[in-house]
Amino acid sequence: MSVQSKPNIQLPSGAIRPIVILISGSGSNMRSLVETAEREDWAERLKAQVVAVISNRPDAKGLDWARSAGLITQVLDHRGFDSREAFDAALMRLIDGHQPALVLLAGFMRILTPDFVEHYQGRLINIHPSVLPAFPGLHTHRRALEAGCGFAGATVHQVTAALDHGPILAQAVVPVLPGDTEQTLAQRVLSQEHRIYPQAVAAWLQSH
């Protein structure tokens, strides 16, 4: 595990609620969340602030952007653990060091154990690239194209022990166009992910 931090995170006085984001790759949804939080001044309006980004992959490109944004970045490589349970237990300890009000999954490519999900019950949120309950799991765009769907989309939901289930917080729909590939459909869906994820998180913060 390696830990890097920048000194310019300053939590305003008062009951600021820390947010931790988990990523495995480019972190585009993480970036959208952080930029929206800054632009809409969540610290003042919603008493919440993104404080840390954690990845299970040392080479996750999103870590570079998070560091440049002055966020604490931490890496916990899942390949160094003998079991999913051992990794999740270590990840919980790392997350809990930030005392988070919310834990946001933003392209975190790990199936989480029931103990992990229970530990953060009610404050663990994910975004999934399909209109749930359709196409849980992987390869959602390929499956939508193979099924001949006329539309696709994205879902923000609270995480439960069942994969890609849990209370839905927001959804967006995009058309499937003639000639679409997995890549073109993914890009169209991703633009909506960047829009609805921050909106859903802000609404959660507003109501809690």
Cα-Cα-Cα-Cα dihedral sign, residues 25, 5, 66, 201: positive
Give the neighbor-by-neighbor strand order of the sheet with 102-105: 2-4, 72-75, 48-55, 17-23, 102-105, 124-128, 151-158, 168-175
- Burial class of residue 143 (count of CB atoms within 10 Å of its CB; 0-12, 13-18, 19+): middle
Q: Any catalytic annotation for residue 128? A: yes
At residue 158, what is the residue type?
Q
Q: How far is the C-alpha of 144 from the C-alpha of 142, rounded, in Å?
A: 5
**Residues near 147 by Cβ (< 8 Å), separated by ≥ 6?**
none
Q: How far is the C-alpha of 60 from the C-alpha of 54, rounded, in Å?
A: 10
**Residues near 51 by Cβ (< 8 Å), separated by ≥ 6?**
9, 11, 18, 19, 20, 71, 72, 98, 100
116: its two tokens: 């992990």
Strands 124-128 and 151-158: antiparallel
Q: Which of 78, 98, 119, 128 is catalytic?
A: 128
Catalytic positions:
128
